[in-house]
Amino acid sequence: MKPGNAQPRGADAPGTLTRRAFIRTGAGAAAAISAFGATGCEEKLAKIPGYRPPLRESGAAGALPSLDGSPHPSPPVPSGALPDILTHTVNRLSYGLRPGEYARLLQPGRSPGEAAQAYINAQLAPEGVDDAALEAEVRRLEVLAEPLAELFEYKEAYLLRQMTKATLLRAVYSRHQLKEVMVQFWSDHFNIDSSKGECRWLKAADEREVIRPHALGQFPTMLRASALSPAMLWYLDGRVNRTASPAERPNENYARELLELHTLGVHGGYTQQDVMEVARCLSGWTVRDRYQLRKGVVEFHADQHDDGAKTVLGKPIPAGLGKADLDRVLEIVALHPSTAQHLARKLCRRFIADGPPAEAVDAVAKQYLASRGDIRATLRALFDCPAFADPQFRAGRFRRPFEFIVAALRATDADCRPGEEIAAYLTSMGHAPYQYPTPEGYTLSPGPWMATLMWRWNFAIALSANKIEGTRIDLDRLRTQAGGDTGLMAEALGRTPTSDERDAFAQSGNGLALLLASPAFQYC
């Protein structure tokens, strides 16, 4: 849709419109409302079947009152050569600063440091932050709430599309930003490629029942949920790990990744013998396939379990424990010091720098153990590390393609119902959710993502020209609210733009596209 083409045309003949046209109408109408502040017409629009109000992270749009048309004062925007602690904190804990968010967080009388602390506190306690608008939107993707067995009734491509939409919607609009960041972190940590076998259907349940509920919860609980997740039993072959006869050797696939990736880490001090012993402990767990009754249900078959005595990481597990072997193994590994180091290092790489200081990793690992795997307490320790606030790491984290797309949508306050087009950009950049083939998940390293600039630039151009289906931005409103181009740039970059950047913005012929495509916006 072209800018300026924003009348709600559907109002004339709603009965003849396709669903897509309704959505477009909604987006167009939404833009009209935003641009003119014409709240009166919202009631009228709400009566159009299919109309949906524009999605905004409630309270975050930062609309400044323009009461009488007089020029309003410029809002506070990030300033300085480097992002200040508030901008830095928001950019690291979230998918990117929104327009007006800086001014809103920096309430009068608060220092940036105090505002940053308040932001951390709120993000670590999402149950106190209302997210109803987003949740209502996600509920429209009804298939994602289907009970496990019902998921099999859907075409896998449809299911994947809906999952991708939900993931993007949440990342863009959820006010529980840290939770969404951690959902992605754990979804990578416990990676499952939805294209393997019945993961096509079961990954939706894994995301909903394993990853999301525990993303800010207790790591040992999440680990257990993952170990017994039907999708994980498919993905890492746990379902065929059985020893019904002495001739049958256990399948070690899950056991190895449990130690190498999910807990201790590759140098975490386990041996091949430990892998084999863990595989024995976990033998007999399986999942009913889609041709069986009670499809997708996880079961323990005692006759396929090796019930002899085992030793895991030097700890004896006596014979005859049966299915309780699993809990013994997870107890041994979940709170192992190597696990603490492994997780702490990954978290520090995500939130501090690709090569984080050892003191930070140690402090986070220590708190992980002290809190017995409490993820919030662990994160709190991380945010309290001097390294987290260290200016040398600010604006130094290269955004992964998914983060770039979402940051751009947030920075432009886009009204976005993500569809196939955005998913195709993610695929072109090799970062489509739930489609990483091997168990280590999408990398935290910046290097492999560097080759994605062309698609980022293309996306920036398409977004700024309102050429992405289902997505709309209002540049005039953005510019006005930010108090002009420099304010707009400062909010997107989290700092005062350099004179080169200002000049390039002015001379590019498409300042917004240049801003989003610029080197600085690729980092946070």
Partner 1 sequence: MSTESIQTLVTGNGDARRTLVVVFLRGAADGLSLVPPVADDDYHRARPSMRISAQAALPLDGFFGLHPLMRALLPLYKEGLMAIVHAAGSEDTTRSHFEAQDFMEHGGLAAGGWLGRFLRYGGSPSAISALGAITLGPKLPESLRGAPAATAIQSLDQYSLGTDAEQLTQQLRRLYALQRGEIAAAGRETLNALGRLQALRSSTYTPANGAQYGEDTFSQRLRMLARLIKARVGLEAASIDLDGWDSHFTQATLLEPLMQQLAGGLGAFCRDLGPGGIATTSVVVMTEFGRRVAENSSFGTDHGRGSVMFLLGGGVRGGRIVGKWPGLASSSLEGPGDLAVAHNYRDVLAPVLRRHGAAGEHLRVIFPDYELREMDV
Residues that bind partner 1 (CB under 8 A): 193, 195-197, 199, 235, 398, 424, 427-430, 435-438, 446-448, 450-455, 457-458, 461, 500-501, 504-505, 507-510, 513-514, 517-520, 522
Rg for the chain (alpha carbons), in Å? 25
Pairing of strands 298-300, 310-312: unpaired
Which is closer to partner 1, CB of 173 or CB of 254?
254
Query: Which of 169, 104, 99, 103 has its CA nearest to residue 131?
Result: 169
Q: How many CB atoms lie within 10 A of CB 372?
A: 12
Which is closer to partner 1, CB of 270 or CB of 459?
459
Which is closer to partner 1, CB of 254 or CB of 368?
254
Return all residues near 26 (Cβ < 8 A) that are at least 6 apart. Answer: 45, 48, 50, 51, 52, 53, 54
Which is closer to partner 1, CB of 298 or CB of 504?
504
Least Å from the CB of residue 518 to partner 1: 5
Handedness of CA 275, 278, 280, 283 (dihedral sign): negative
Least Å from the CB of residue 486 to partner 1: 16
| 3-state secondary structure at position 68 | coil
Least Å from the CB of residue 479 to partner 1: 18
CA dist 383 and 377 (Å) reads 10
Least Å from the CB of residue 522 to partner 1: 7
Cβ 483 vs Cβ 489: under 8 Å: no
Which is closer to partner 1, CB of 123 or CB of 187?
187
Least Å from the CB of residue 461 to partner 1: 6
CA dist 401 and 389 (Å) reads 24
Which is closer to partner 1, CB of 60 or CB of 517?
517
HSE (CB half, 13 Å, CA atoms) of 483?
A: 16
Least Å from the CB of residue 34 to partner 1: 26
Which is closer to partner 1, CB of 355 or CB of 509?
509
Buried-state track 476-493, b at ≥16 Cβ within 10 A, e below 16: ebbbbbbbebbbbbbbbb
358: buried, middle or exposed (CB in 10 Å: 19+, 13-18, 0-12)?
exposed
Length of the chain: 524
Which is closer to partner 1, CB of 73 or CB of 509?
509
Cβ 214 vs Cβ 225: under 8 Å: yes
Ramachandran assignment for 177, one of left (phi > 0), alpha (psi -120 to 50 degrees), beta (any other): alpha
Least Å from the CB of residue 346 to partner 1: 20
Least Å from the CB of residue 220 to partner 1: 26
Which is closer to partner 1, CB of 48 or CB of 520?
520
Least Å from the CB of residue 498 to partner 1: 8
CA dist 242 and 249 (Å) reads 7
Which is closer to partner 1, CB of 219 or CB of 505?
505
Main-chain phi, psi angles of 445, to 5 degrees = -75, 140
Distance of CA 369 to the CA centre of its chain: 25
Least Å from the CB of residue 161 to partner 1: 13
